[in-house]
Structure formats: structure tokens, C-alpha cells
Amino acid sequence: MIKFLNQTSHILNGPHINLIIGVFLLFSVFSEIEGEIVDVLVSADIGIHHGIVAFGLIHVLSALAALTESLVLILERPKG
């Protein structure tokens, strides 16, 4: 049981899950506010969905940072 929990924790804390969550959040919010972007910028009427955009963007950027760091480690490891 502990092995299963450790594996589940490892999977859920990985950058792939953060990337999926971030993309899902961005997609769902942008589908809601697609026609409002110009109006919001002009009127400065900021709602909760704009915070979700920022949260989704942070998830995507942190996941991409972790993925690129992993890629660099893989490419720089010694051969042999």
C-alpha cells in the first residue's frame, strides 16, 4: 500500500500533471472570456476568471521550467 501511495504521489507531483492542469485551466477560462478581453482591458473590470488565467499560466510555466530542466540533465549526463 505504501508503495502505491509513493508512486501516486510521485505521479501527481510531476511536471506533466502541472502542465495538464495549467493547459486545462487556460483552455476553460479562455473559452469563457474569449469575447471579453478587449472590454476587460478598457473597463478594468477584473473578475475571478482572470485570476484563474494567471494561476493556469503559472502552472504551465512552472511545468515547462521543470521539463526543460529535466531535459538538460538528460542531455548533459555522461555517456557510458
List, as own/partner pairs, every contact residues 7-13 make where C-beta atoms lie below 8 angstroms and the sequence separation is at least 24, other chains included.
none
Cell of 52: 484563474
- pLDDT confidence of residue 44: 67
| pLDDT per position as a tens digit, 25-80 | 777 777 776 666 666 666 766 677 777 778 888 878 888 888 888 778 778 888 76
Q: Into how many domains does the chain fold?
A: 1
- pLDDT confidence of residue 38: 64
Burial call 4-36: b when 16+ CB within 10 Å, e when fewer: eeeeeeeeeeebeebbeebeebbeebeeeeeee
Mean pLDDT confidence for 11-24: 77
Domain coverage including residue 69: 2-76
- pLDDT confidence of residue 67: 80
